[in-house]
């Protein structure tokens, strides 16, 4: 593959973080297609001839060494790229130039396109699907392969589940050539193609293991008329818990993560697990399950949560204050509900954080607290002195918060 980027001895892959949750550095990492293909190449897997470019001149230059037709692919992290017009075909230089200008700098799925891949369109006898994922249930890697690829795998799984071969891979023994050949044989391949495809799968598995991937997906895996297998696309999602052992992946936080709101991005900096929702009751608690249960309870009282926020264990005054500051930064929030069942977290520290935040960022919005557990008497005293209501049960606290939220909404309407 002709690449515009200089590959050094240690390939520096820019990992663009697609953050789905924010608990400190706990992030779900998705690589761009071009980054994934670079890794695939390192592992000896064939990809179409092409280049990664970020401007029209480079694009035109790269066309000099490619044969038409070519595919132009927007390098974005969001799914549904093809349907959104992020994958285009060109049969001539002029056509390519027009399409390059159209793609670079545009937005696909709300994501700005700063890079595209230009590569030769491979003649395809077949489009296969090949992937390595993880079975939570079986606690092992799964090899997934189908001769009917090229479409969304979930769609395929629904439409024609029998066409997807699923094979568990023992985490202790892995996927070797022999096992891979057994699987590929069932697809009807023999001799040369059998060996090639099996070898490809073994290498995909090696990539998954090496990079602590939660998912490695090639869709489509093209089978050419001459029986070659080429990786037309490459998707890889890396287990965020494994980052500590991948110094070769250099992190560059996206300034504006397309998947994340500003508040969510900020919360990460403070090690908070925070998700924006659309209601007017701000929610904070200690423990993900407890917070989820609180959100559910709010809905049952006809309220609408503005967010999910888990303080995590042992939260101190600072952490509580920062969480509330972020939460209260949301103008939609009319009432705040804090649910603390303190096992190791200290109630009086939490109370101090609440009072501090209310004084500085509260802006006349009521805070309702449920607080029981370690140092609860001390904590309640602090809240009492600040005239912040507290309850022993999450139901009572939630009921009150929902009531206040409805009042606030009614006030808004009447004013």
43 to 82: interface string for another protein, x by CB under 8 A: ----------------------------------------
Residue with tokens 């925070």: 274
Q: Report the C-alpha gap between 380 and 5 in whole angstroms.
A: 60
Q: What is the largest CA-CA distance in the chain?
A: 81
- Name which of 63 and 156 has its Cβ closer to another protein: 156
Q: Which residues ranging from 241 to 260 are in contact with another protein (CB under 8 A)?
A: 241-242, 244-245
Look up tokens 């044989």; give the residue.
185
Coil, strand or helix: which one is 91?
coil
Residues across the chain: 415
User: Closest CB to another protein among 188 and 289?
Assistant: 289
User: Do 342 and 376 meet the contact criterion of CB atoms below 8 Å apart?
Assistant: yes
Q: Is beta strand 213-223 parallel, antiparallel or unpaired with respect to 126-135?
A: antiparallel
Under rule CB under 8 A, residue 344 binds another protein: yes
Cα(368)–Cα(387) distance, rounded to whole angstroms?
Answer: 10
At its nearest, how many Å lie between another protein and the CB of residue 333? Answer: 17
Tell which positions 116-145 bind another protein, by CB under 8 A: 134, 136-137, 139-141
- Pick from 278, 285, 336, 276: nearest CA to 304: 278
CA 210 to chain centre: 20
205 is catalytic: no
Contacts with 258 (C-beta within 8 Å, 6 or more apart), sequence order = 18, 77, 78, 109, 110, 111
Shortest distance (Å) from residue 291 CB to another protein: 7
Task: From 104-112, 113-121, 324-332, 368-376, give the range in contact with another protein by CB under 8 A.
Answer: 368-376
Q: What is the torsional sign of CA 8, 11, 12, 16?
A: positive
111-112 and 164-169 strand pairing: unpaired
- Binding marks (x or -) toward another protein, 271..300, rule CB under 8 A? --x-x-x-------xxxxxxxxx-xxxxxx
Tell me the CA distances in angstroms from 53 to 26, 71, 222, 296, 327, one per residue in order: 31, 13, 23, 47, 40
Q: For residues 163 and 161, give the distance between their C-alpha atoms in angstroms, rounded to a whole number.
A: 5
Catalytic residue among 129, 274, 390, 391: 129
Closer residue to another protein in complex, CB, 2/299:
299
Strand partners, 128: 221
Spatial separation of the C-alpha atoms in residues 343 and 338, rounded to whole Å: 15
From 181, 217, 223, 349, active-site residue:
217
- Binding flag, residue 95, another protein (CB under 8 A): no
In the complex, what is the shortest distance from the CB of residue 86 to another protein, in angstroms, rounded to a whole number?
Answer: 19
Residue 344 CB, shortest distance to another protein, in Å, is 7
Tell me which residue of 74, 72, 71 sits closest to 121, measured CA to CA: 71
Work out whether 393 is an interface residue with another protein (CB under 8 A).
yes
Question: Smaller CB distance to another protein: residue 32 or 308?
Answer: 308
CB of 178 to another protein, least distance (A): 19
Part in contact with another protein (CB under 8 A); list of ranges 59-67, 106-114, 317-325, 387-395: 387-395
The site that binds another protein (CB under 8 A) totals a number of residues, namely 54
| Chain centroid, CA 187 distance in Å | 32
Choice between 1 and 290, CB closer to another protein: 290
Nearer to another protein, 115 or 348 (CB): 348
Comparing CA positions, the residue from 205, 211, 129, 146 lying closest to residue 171 is 205
Binding string to another protein for residues 158 to 197, with x set by CB under 8 A, is what? ------------xxx-------------------------
User: What are the distances in angstroms from CA 223 to CA 102, 160, 229, 354?
Assistant: 30, 20, 5, 61
Is residue 214 among the annotated active site residues? Answer: no
Minimum CB–partner distance for residue 149 and another protein (Å)? 17
Which one of 1, 2, 20, 187 is in contact with another protein (CB under 8 A)? Answer: 20
* Number of Cβ within a 10 Å radius of residue 277: 16
- Positions touching another protein (CB under 8 A) are 20-21, 23, 26, 28, 134, 136-137, 139-141, 154, 170-172, 209, 212, 214, 239, 241-242, 244-245, 273, 275, 277, 285-293, 295-300, 305, 308, 310, 313, 341, 343-344, 372-374, 393-395
Catalytic annotation, residues = 129, 217
């Amino acid at each position: 593959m002709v690449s515009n980027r200089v590959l050094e001895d240690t390939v520096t892959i820019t990992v663009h973080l697609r953050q789905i949750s924010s608990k400190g550095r706990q992030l779900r990492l998705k690589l761009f297609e071009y980054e994934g293909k670079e890794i695939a190449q390192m592992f000896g897997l064939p990809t179409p001839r092409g280049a990664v470019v970020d401007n029209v001149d480079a694009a035109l230059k790269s066309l000099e060494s490619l044969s038409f037709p070519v595919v132009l692919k927007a390098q974005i992290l969001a799914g549904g790229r093809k349907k959104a017009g992020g994958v285009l075909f060109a049969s001539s230089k002029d056509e390519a130039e027009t399409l390059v200008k159209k793609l670079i700098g545009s937005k696909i799925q709300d994501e700005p396109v700063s890079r595209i891949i230009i590569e030769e369109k491979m003649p395809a006898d077949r489009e296969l699907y090949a992937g390595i994922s993880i079975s939570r249930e079986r606690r092992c890697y799964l090899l997934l392969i189908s001769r009917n690829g090229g479409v969304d795998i979930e769609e395929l799984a629904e439409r024609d589940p029998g066409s997807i071969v699923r094979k568990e891979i023992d985490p202790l023994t892995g996927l070797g050539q022999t096992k891979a050949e057994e699987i590929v044989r069932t697809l009807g391949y023999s001799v040369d193609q059998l060996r090639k495809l099996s070898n490809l799968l073994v290498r995909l598995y090696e990539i998954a293991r090496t990079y602590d991937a939660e998912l490695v997906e090639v869709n489509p895996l093209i089978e050419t008329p001459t029986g070659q297998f080429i990786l037309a696309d490459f998707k890889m999602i890396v287990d965020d818990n494994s980052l500590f052992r991948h110094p070769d992946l250099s992190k560059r936080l996206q300034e504006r993560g397309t998947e994340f709101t500003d508040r969510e991005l900020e919360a990460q900096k403070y090690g908070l697990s925070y998700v924006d929702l659309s209601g007017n009751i701000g929610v904070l608690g200690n423990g993900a399950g407890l917070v989820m249960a609180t959100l559910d309870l709010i809905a049952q009282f006809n309220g609408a949560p503005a967010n999910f926020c888990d303080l995590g264990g042992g939260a101190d005054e600072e952490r509580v204050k920062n969480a509330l500051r972020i939460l209260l930064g949301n103008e939609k929030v009319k009432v705040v509900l804090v649910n603390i069942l303190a096992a190791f977290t200290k109630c009086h520290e939490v109370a101090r954080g609440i009072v501090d935040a209310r004084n500085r960022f509260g802006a006349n919005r009521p805070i309702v607290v449920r607080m029981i557990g370690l140092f609860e008497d001390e904590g309640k005293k602090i809240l009492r002195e600040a005239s912040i209501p507290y309850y022993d049960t999450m139901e009572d606290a939630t009921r009150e918060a929902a009531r206040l939220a409805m009042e606030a909404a009614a006030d808004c309407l009447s004013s």
